Structure 1
């Protein structure tokens, strides 16, 4: 299973008045890690978008376990845990060393940019995703 780890330094802009990372920023860190994971698979998101397709987040759940603080060095992880004809499910976490600060799952779907309706991912993308998974986790490989 392919996993991507993105190092992140916590800056003042990431924190609240108490120097603790503002909760919504974890979702931004998740987004960056997902983007880099897909890029590491050789998939150019802009190429997917050339035909008017757009990836959209359809579901996100996150558990906040410990706070990240100003000047911390953390790592945002992302891995694909399931893929269907039009959607991808990611398992994600933000860690400081061995400590899990936040963890969650994000589902993204490929949609038609004009109508907003789901559309099947190109076969090449589905094959790349299948290669990143344990075969039984791929739910639709047609």
Structure 2
């Protein structure tokens, strides 16, 4: 071991691919029950982590917004559907896209995947609130950033008239 300075390591970050944010993670022992299966509440934690990373990737500085009194997002509703178990050692990717973006709230679809297998899916409504805890219009630039995550409907097939 040397006393040489250690270069800083960057934390894991997700990427935006089209209209989807993808956030990778690994299932650790602490995420599982005694049988090595992910405990159900951990999907909520993973979805929260992915949403926080999404804000960073979109260039939204949550800490600055909190410190300067702009406001912050809070979960208003969450509906989860469990489809298959994740297990100790798995690599899981959380995908997030926007379903609806309003002036005060956004509804996001989040899905946990393991190698093409859907593990858990959620619809999460986040509302923007001011420092006093009351709903507030989200900044226009933030609203526009979320709008980029709404999947574009495929065009109708062209056929004979």
Q: Is TM-score (shorter-chain normalized) higher than 0.5?
A: yes
Output the TM-score relative to the length of structure 1. Answer: 0.87
Which one has a bigger Cα radius of gyration? 2
- Determine if the alignment matches structure 1 residue 14 to structure 2 residue 31: yes
Q: For this pair of structures, how many residues does the alignment match?
A: 135
49-58 or 14-23, which deviates more: 49-58
Q: What are structure 2's unaligned runs of at least 5 residues?
A: 1-17, 154-161
* Bigger helix fraction: 1
Task: Quote the Cα distance in structure 1 between the aligned partners of 2:148 and 2:97.
Answer: 12
Q: Secondary structure at the match of 1:29?
A: helix
Find runs of 4+ consecutive structure 1 residues off by over 6 angstroms.
none
Q: Secondary structure at the match of 2:84?
A: coil
1:72 equivalent in structure 2: 90
Deviation at 1:135, TM superposition (A): 8.0
Instruction: Report Cα offsets for 1:56-84 as digits up to 9, x if no partner.
Output: 10000000010101111111111122111
Instruction: Report Cα offsets for 1:80-117 as digits up to 9, x if no partner.
Output: 22111111111001011100000011111111222x21
Task: Quote the Cα distance in structure 1 between the aligned partners of 2:87 and 2:139.
Answer: 41
2:105 equivalent in structure 1: 87
Q: Which has the higher contact order (CA 8 A, sep 6+)?
A: 1
